[in-house]
Amino acid sequence: MIRVYPSMAMAERVSWSCALLLALMLVRSCCETAETETATAVKEMKMLKKPCDEIYVVREGETLQTIGDKCGDPYIVEKNPHIHDPDDVFPGMLIKITPLMINR
């Protein structure tokens, strides 16, 4: 018969608790990676859809940042020489949009 000391029982409980915690952390990290990859894939698909026409009309409350995010064109100012101040964008303004294409 094996004799179990109280300190051995406590050490075994701590060991099992650590193993369980490690397993849970591993599972959680796998799930987070999958969610991040899914979010990235969805974002890439949105960019490939070309959500904006080549000539875009600025709407109320939009900024160059929001338009760039929406249309997939982070270089709006460089491609539109008539925009002298990026903060001076108004409704009805026409902007040329050239979305980035993701090479796969």
Residue numbers of the chain with a pLDDT score lower than 50: 103-104
Cα–Cα distance measured from residue 65 to residue 91, given in angstroms and rounded to the nearest whole number? 15
The DSSP string of 10-72 is: HHHHHHHHHHHHHHHHHHHHHHHHHHHHHHHHHHHHHHHT--S-SEEE--TT--HHHHHHHHT
CA quadruple 21, 25, 27, 32: dihedral, nearest 10: 160
pLDDT of residue 104: 39
pLDDT of residue 49: 56
pLDDT of residue 1: 61
